[in-house]
Every structure is written in C-alpha cells, then in structure tokens.
C-alpha cells in the first residue's frame, strides 16, 4: 500500500468535526469500474416499480458479496484513504464491514421523514455515551455527485463524536437542536472518512437521479467483523499482498501482532509509540 501522510490540519479537522473529506480519492476509471459491479448487485432494486411517495421503499443497504471482485479488493488498501485510517487508529486494524447504499428519488414534496440518528458499531449500548472511545472509522466512497441539498448523502452532526449524552430533539422535529447538521457537497470519486462516534443519519434522496455510495469500515482487530463480511478462502488470501491479507482477517488470533501494517508503519515513520504496562519511578 502506497503511503499518504496525514497532515496536522487533517488530524485536527477529524478530531474537531468527526469527519474528513478526501477529494478525488478514486479516479474516474475506478468509479466506472465500481459502478459496473454495484449496478449489477443492485439490479433488482433498480428495476423495482417507482414509489416516490415512500422514501423508505427507495433505499437499498446491501452488504454480502461485495469483495469478490478485483476492483473492490483494491479498494481495501486505497492509498488515498486507508493510510489516513491507519494513522488515526493504529496498525492493529482490519476491515470491519462493507455496504453498498443506493437511494432512488423520492417525492421532493413529502413531509420531513423521521431520521435514524445513531452512532456506529453499537458500542454505546454496552458502554453508554460517557468517554466513548474511537474504535472504528468508516470510509464513504461517492460513486455519484452530491451537489445539492437532500441529494441522499448521509447527514452528520458536526463535532458530536465528543458528546457524552444522547442527541436532544424537539418533539415533532427530525433533526437535533444546538448542533450543526451537515449535508455535505461532494463529487463522484470523493471519499468521506467519519468517526464511529459521530451522530449521523440516512436521509431521503429528493434529487432526480439514483444516489450511490460504497462504505468500507475499519476497526481494531479485537472487534469482531460483521457476520455478512465475506469470509476469504485461506488459499485465495495467498494471492494478496500482506497488508490486504491482514485487513481481510488473516490473523485469526488477535494476540498475533499486526505484522503487515506494523512493518508498513515503521517503513513510513508513522508507527505509534508503544503503550507501557508500567513505568519506573524514583523512590
């Protein structure tokens, strides 16, 4: 995997906002190749009858079988995004989940729909909201343009990854109070990194075209991968480079060091300092 340096400005933006935009993370050729795959996966959804009066009917969240193609395998180590994830988390990571999200147009005149504001990876259910740790980062790859309001891109509550409480909503309203709701404007080929702790929600697509994104989530290796993530054939893993093999889950024992990404991090001088078990102090 080629190296991309996480700048101090990018780190600060991610820490403050909870998300980071990476322009032109995918070439036009890569977007075209991915669309051939994703449109095939979404064919039954795309061929359904139009029901523009039901926004929930017009969304596809498809997860299994997305890693059976060279173009999606290449995405696992995208050099414009994944090196930044390693520097924001650590080398001790793997691919946690994948998702294909398509949204067909809904009637722009519909009343505002109730959102599904949430945090990812479900850990607040066990740990609560106080001192919630960053344990995963999701990369959203845009396969279509998102230039207008309500184009179907995920909405974010800026800075809410630092919140130690639930979002506050006025009764009857769909968005939280006292927080900036971001409806970002991106181009096909752009990528968006976001913290597992940031509050975000799906939104309807009120445009006149289908919106299309691919999501790849990375987490620490001591977190179980999603059940629908493709379980690679051990023989097939041999065909991949060491970093791809690690990210696909080759090291089954989590106590096995993350050799591949540790070597990559040391080579590129971004290996984090070791966390000591104890320190010596003076008598």
pLDDT at 238: 85
Cα 143 from Cα 102, distance rounded (Å):
10
Tell me which long-range contacts 177-184 makes (C-beta under 8 A, separation of at least 24): 181/155, 181/156, 181/157, 182/19, 182/155, 182/156, 182/157, 182/158, 183/149, 183/150, 183/151, 183/153, 183/155, 184/19, 184/21, 184/146, 184/153, 184/156
Domain boundaries, the chain: 8-253
The CATH architecture one would assign to domain 8-253 is: Sandwich (2.60)
Distance CA 161, CA 138 (A): 13
The pLDDT tens digits for 98-112 are: 999 999 998 888 877
- Once rounded to an integer, what is the mean pLDDT over residues 177-190? 97
Residue-wise pLDDT for 116-154, tens only, equals 999 999 899 999 999 999 999 999 999 999 999 999 999
What's the pLDDT at 6? 98
Integer Cα distance of 215 and 96 in angstroms: 11
* pTM, to two decimals: 0.95
pLDDT of the residue at 124: 93
pLDDT cut 70: percent of the chain above it: 99
């Amino acid at each position: 995997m080629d190296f991309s340096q996480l700048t101090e400005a990018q780190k600060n933006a991610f820490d403050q906002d909870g998300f980071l935009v990476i322009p032109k993370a995918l070439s036009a050729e890569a977007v075209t190749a991915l669309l051939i795959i994703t449109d095939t996966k979404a064919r039954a959804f795309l061929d359904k009858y139009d029901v523009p009066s039901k926004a929930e009917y017009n969304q596809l969240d498809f997860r299994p079988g997305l890693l059976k193609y060279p173009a999606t395998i290449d995405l696992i180590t995208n050099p414009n995004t994944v090196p930044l994830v390693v520097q924001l988390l650590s080398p001790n990571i793997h691919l946690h989940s994948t998702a294909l999200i398509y949204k067909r147009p809904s009637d722009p005149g519909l009343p505002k729909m109730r959102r599904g504001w949430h945090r990812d990876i479900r850990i607040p259910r066990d740990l609560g909201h106080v001192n919630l740790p960053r344990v995963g980062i999701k990369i959203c790859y845009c396969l279509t343009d998102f230039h207008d309001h309500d184009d179907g891109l995920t909405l974010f509550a800026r800075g809410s990854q630092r919140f130690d409480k639930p979002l506050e909503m006025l009764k009857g309203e769909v968005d939280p109070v006292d927080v900036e709701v971001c409806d970002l404007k991106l181009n096909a080929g752009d990528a968006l990194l976001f913290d597992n702790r940031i509050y975000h929600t799906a939104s309807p697509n009120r445009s006149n075209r289908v919106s299309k994104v691919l999501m790849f989530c990375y987490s620490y290796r001591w977190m179980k991968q999603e059940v629908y993530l493709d379980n690679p054939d051990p023989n097939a893993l041999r065909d991949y480079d060491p970093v791809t093999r690690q990210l696909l889950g080759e090291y089954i024992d989590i106590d096995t060091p993350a050799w591949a990404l540790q070597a990559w991090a040391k080579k590129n001088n971004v290996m984090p300092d070791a966390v000591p078990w104890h320190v010596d102090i003076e008598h």
